[in-house]
Structure 1
Amino acid sequence: MGAVPAEALGVAGLGGVSRVYIQIVIWNLEKSDATVESLREYLRDYAVDAFSTLRGMRMKTWFADAKKGYWGAVYLWDGVNMQNPLSVSKAIELIGYPPTSTSVFAVEAIAEGVSAIESFKGIGRAFEEVSAPDPAGESA
């Protein structure tokens, strides 16, 4: 989708955005019928495209640990005037209950490194043909 002029999003401040926020949501899946693999299908088939339409969301990164039964996401928001993520999310419906933990923090600083990855579209384990062992220790 790309950047949208700050005025169109209704944010004010230096360069249109005065503060950026990070939101972290985590589910413990121990009481859910949902699995990391079934939630990967949700990402492939629906969520990545749906969340890409949210106004005010710079990025959403999903993460998981199948062995420990954790599923979650980190959002980077342009400011407080953002579209409610629940307007497109089906995670609560699929998992069966709200996140185990939700936190919002004001961002102190952001560093963008030099990366070989030009775009994050199609990146992640949900888009792999066969789930290869993860160097972080998660193998499902």
Structure 2
Amino acid sequence: MIVDIAFWDVDDVDALHAATAVEEWRGIDGLRLKLWIVDRERGRWGAIMLWDGERPASLPPNRAAELIGRPADHRLTFDVAEVAP
């Protein structure tokens, strides 16, 4: 399993949260879970995605990057070492 974490440093996290596109991500091969995250105190907004394997090359459009006008400020990828039952 792989976990991707992507987030932006932004001023208005509430405006982005309201624009979250969920439907487009349903049914993506290998995507086990996608969580939207927000840190209002630090002005951070983004997502955590849990993949069964490698992230597919073809994904829905990145609506957050389109709204914000740039790619994520922070993007991290980790192998999941252990999955608890």
Q: How much has 1:62 moved relative to structure 2?
A: 0.8
Distance verdict in 2 for CA 1:104–1:84, change over 3 Å: farther
1:100 to 55, 73, 76: 73
Q: 1:58 maps to what in 2?
A: 32
1:65-76 aligned within 5 A:
65-76=39-50
SS at match of 1:63: strand
TM-score by structure 2 length? 0.86
Q: How much has 1:51 moved relative to structure 2?
A: 1.1
1:38 to 15, 32, 36: 15
Select the structure of larger CA radius of gyration. 1
Cα RMSD of the aligned pairs, angstroms, is: 1.6
Q: Distance in 2 between matches of 1:41 and 1:101?
A: 21
Amino acid at match of 1:40: H
* Unmatched segments (≥5 aa) in structure 1: 1-19, 113-140
1:60-139 aligned within 5 A:
60-80=34-54, 82=56, 84-85=58-59, 87-112=60-85
Q: Which one has more relative contact order, counting CA pairs under 8 Å at least 6 apart?
A: 2
Q: How much has 1:83 moved relative to structure 2?
A: 5.0
Per residue, is there more strand in 1 or in 2?
2
Identity %: 33
* Unmatched segments (≥5 aa) in structure 2: none
Per residue, is there more helix in 1 or in 2?
1
